[in-house]
A and B are shown apart, each in its own frame.
Chain A
Amino acid sequence: MYSNVVVPRQWTRLACLCRSLATIEGQKVPQTSKSSDGISPPPRIPRGPTDILQALAATVGNDPTAAHYKYHDDPYLIPLSNFRKRAYALSAEAGRKAAAWIRDEHAELFTTRVWDPPTKIKTPYFNADPKIEAFAPKPIYNDESKYFKLLGGVSGVNEELKLQFLQLLCFYNEREPDSMEWLEERWFSANMRDRQAATWRLGGLADQIFESMDPKTPEAYCAMIQGMAKYYQAERAHNMAQEAISKGIPLSTSVYNALIGCIGFLKEGTALRIEALKNILGQMNDQGISPNDETLSACLRSLSAWGGGKVLQQMALQTLAEFRQLGIQPGLAAYYYLLCLFCKERGPRFDILSTIITELEKKESLDAKEPADTNFFITAMGVCSDHLQDINMAERLHAILMKGDNYKLVGDAYKESIYYRHYVTVACRHAPFEKTLELLDTLIPNIYVPEPSVMEEIIKTLEVGGAGDRLAQTWSQLVVFGHGKRVKLVERLLEAMINTYPGQEPEIQSKMRAAAADMLDFGQAASEEQETKDIRSPVQKLSASAVCNIIELCSDTKDKADPNWKSVDEALSRLRREEAAGVPARPQALAEVAQKATTVGLPGIAAAAVTYLAECGFEEAMSASVRVLGTMLNRPEKEVETLLTEQHSSLAGSLHPAAQAVAEAYNLAKTGGPVLQDTERPSSSSDSDSESSSDDE
């Protein structure tokens, strides 16, 4: 397709080549001899083809304010909750999978082939450039496809192919490996903890092939033993290893590593197991096989899997010291097993993490060598948070993870979120307040969306720090993260807001009021949604204390026209309809709200509050109603009290309906039942009351 290259282009190319040759020539000179004018350019550094790209990439850091690059950069398409993050990434991958299916099923539609090397797909292109390979053949991992039979079965295949096939089968245990193509699925698949059960297929294809091999080569033995040990067929693996040794067949280091890994399946009891471990290591020594770093991590893995206790810990430290003498440094996986062994949840404190971190800080970059390497950071952060409760250690650990290319060791989405859960928790509990805020700002919401338990921790921190505006923001975060319907969290947040409310700037206070009013509306919308859409799981209602907190927050205004009074009214009516669980914890607050409402000039709300108090049977109802009525009627409290006690029946009809309601509430609180009857309403009134009733209108 690039055929129309004309001759002049060739000439320019040639000239370009000459120029570059000249420059190379020019650069070589100063290497050997110093130039006469005193300028000595640095010696030439040989560069790889991607070095410039890597250098450019290194200048761009991560932007924590932007979503991950796998998400589309558009407000509508940026996910803000854990559920959405997962759903969006997986849907994009589902789309790619659908496309791949079309590509494989309808290969005749894909006629161009200029890719080199080609992608791995099942079907070759039709009518495509024959010079480029159509597809790389897929390896056979099991015998379900019967390809092996077609090739000639165990008798018809030559020994070399048999051995390679055997190695493949043993490595994958005759199962299709997880696809490397679909990254998101791997990233989001729930923690795939490898089951520690004997999954090796007895009498399978691998066994058949091994039987049929006539001169059983050392490679075949190694493959078989490793396969069995890897899939926990421990006894057979050990028997075969003994057989091989007695026949004088040399075994490799990795075979011994695999055998060490499954000692626990052979022996019971710590003492016997340690004995067996020492035996195997001794065997290695007898055979003249030198251990490697995988041997160390296999030893530690076995030791950590056998429980805890002084003996095992001693043994682990001995092993570590001996391997150090051999010049083998522990890797991340080894450190992970050490942490598992020493830092138990409720055990005594062991500060081995600080030495590990010091070791790791010395390294330029960390390489992933084993699958267990990805467990290190999450476990270490867990140790920082639960075991050591040390924020400095956590920060140092996080710095190591962020250094260079180390972030690849974080594992998958599940591990990442647990890592940050530990990190945020320890920061909230032990870090200085300013630092915690900084951390929260960088992590949330693009890198990490806190789970409810972490959210509670954050709210607690903000409450202690007295950050009112942050608490108001937290409400919107709760909604965005999908925690808005978690009543426990909302109640906790309201409590925190009430505690921090006094002493804030007026502007922040108004923000907090708005948030409280919004909580009420959100709850209303949620319950309406439940009614209309017939959702199974019932929406939990806010407790009465929480609603009281909302009322208290919203009522803090001196303006009669403030829309927050509407929220107060709504909340009160909800309380009276008994739509909130329990009774308020602080009735005193409601009494104060009633008083406030009266002074502002909203007697209806005051009456509702007092009546609710009386209906609930709080003692505060009496004093509150007296005070409210006193304010309404503009009389001293004493006078009102005598008025109420002596001639309550005569008050009826002459009062403003709200004032009357307050009076009724007083009686209700006093006697436990309404006293004023409808028939008594139109009775005569004293002249003093008729005067006073006019001033609240």
Chain B
Amino acid sequence: MNTSIIKLLQSGFGTSSVIAQCSPILASQLHTSAPLCRVVSGKYRITKKRDRPLTYEMANPPHYIAHRKSWNSWNTSNLKDGLRRSETAVEDEFIRRFMNGTWHSLVCSEVIIKRQFNHIRVAAIIRHAVSPTKMYFLLGYSEELLSNWLQCPVTLELQTVDSFKDVVFKYI
């Protein structure tokens, strides 16, 4: 994921009303930090003790997208003549934050967002830290709230793992 975008967005994402306001600004400033991105973004620094856990997705830098790993957002906005470019980007970021906040400390992977027609499918890997009943509660809750915000059907497609260790690819 593009770190510079996040830094840019971090300033003003309290409520969703802000999303609507700043989306045109974001659209115009998206490529300003491109040279920096190429060197730093999407790469993780090696720690002294070599104990930072990386998932497979994190372990592969961005230039391996489409070679070793795949995209985190699937949509047609970025194609030629694509519609709703800025809206899609902002909504995706919103979904990611919502997922990480609602499934607090449970999400073990990147949140993958796939858009087909008017349907948004959100995939993630979740830890078995809470009971299945609670997971179902959160499932219903997030689907309903997200579909009210994004005004389209939202489906969560979760996979579960025993612990975070199951998704660790390597330590650096």
Contacts and interface: CB of A to CB of B under 8 A. Distances in A.
Tell me whether A and B are bound partners. yes
Interface of A: 1-2, 4, 6, 9, 72-77, 79, 84, 87-89, 91-100, 102-103, 109-115, 119, 127
Interface string B72-112: 00000000010110010000000000000000000000000
A96 B151 contact: no
B83 A2 contact: yes
B136 A91 contact: yes
B11 interface: no
A115 B157 CA distance: 23
B145 A102 contact: yes
10 contacts: A72-B135, A87-B133, A92-B136, A96-B143, A97-B140, A99-B145, A103-B145, A109-B15, A109-B16, A110-B149
A95 B148 contact: no
Contacts of B141: 95-96, 98-99
B83 A4 contact: yes
B137 A91 contact: yes
B160 A74 contact: yes
Nearest to B161: A76
Interface string B101-129: 00000000000000000000000000010
Contacts of A110: 16, 148-149
Nearest to B141: A95
A92 B135 CA distance: 8
B17 interface: yes
Report which residue of B128, B135, B140, B159 has the largest number of chain A beta carbons within 10 angstroms of its beta carbon. Answer: B140
B145 A112 contact: no
Given A77-B132, A87-B133, A95 B144 contact: yes
B22 interface: no
Given A1-B84, A74-B159, A94 B140 contact: yes
Contacts of A6: 81
B79 to A, nearest CB: 14
B144 A100 contact: yes
Nearest to A127: B17
Contacts of A97: 140
Interface in B4-42: 15-17, 20
Contacts of A103: 144-145, 148
A592 B38 CA distance: 79
Nearest to B140: A95
Given A4-B83, A74-B158, A77-B158, 18 more contacts: A9-B81, A74-B160, A77-B132, A77-B160, A84-B132, A88-B132, A88-B133, A88-B136, A91-B133, A92-B137, A95-B141, A96-B140, A96-B141, A99-B140, A99-B145, A103-B144, A103-B145, A112-B20
Nearest to A116: B151
A95 B136 contact: yes
Given A72-B158, A74-B158, A109-B16, A92 B139 contact: yes
Contact residues of B: prevailing secondary structure: helix
Contact of B148 (A84, A87, A99): A99
B151 A95 contact: no
Contacts, number: 94
Nearest to B138: A95
A97 B143 CA distance: 11
Contacts of A100: 144
Nearest to B145: A99
A84 B132 CA distance: 9
A681 to B, nearest CB: 57
Given A4-B83, A103-B148, A110-B148, A76 B128 contact: yes
B26 to A, nearest CB: 15
B134 interface: yes
A76 B160 contact: yes
Report which residue of B145, B158, B159 has the largest number of chain A beta carbons within 10 angstroms of its beta carbon. Answer: B145
A223 to B, nearest CB: 37
Nearest to B156: A72
A110 B15 CA distance: 10
B125 to A, nearest CB: 10
Contacts of B144: 95-96, 99-100, 103
B172 to A, nearest CB: 29
B116 to A, nearest CB: 14
B149 A94 contact: no
A127 B132 CA distance: 38
A113 B151 contact: yes
Contacts of A94: 137, 140
A469 B17 CA distance: 62
Contacts of B140: 91-99
A95 B139 contact: yes
A110 B94 CA distance: 13
Contacts of B143: 95-96, 99
A691 B135 CA distance: 70
A121 to B, nearest CB: 9
A77 B134 CA distance: 10
A282 to B, nearest CB: 55
Nearest to A5: B83
Nearest to A87: B133
Contact of B132 (A2, A76, A99, A114): A76
B158 to A, nearest CB: 6
Contacts of A119: 148
Nearest to A71: B136
A37 B139 CA distance: 60
B149 A77 contact: no
Report which residue of A74, A95, A100 has the largest number of chain B beta carbons within 10 angstroms of its beta carbon. Answer: A95
A93 B150 CA distance: 20
A112 B146 CA distance: 12
Contacts of A77: 132, 135-136, 158, 160
Given A1-B87, A76-B128, A76-B132, A95 B137 contact: yes
Contacts of A98: 137, 140-141
A113 B133 CA distance: 32
Contacts of A84: 132
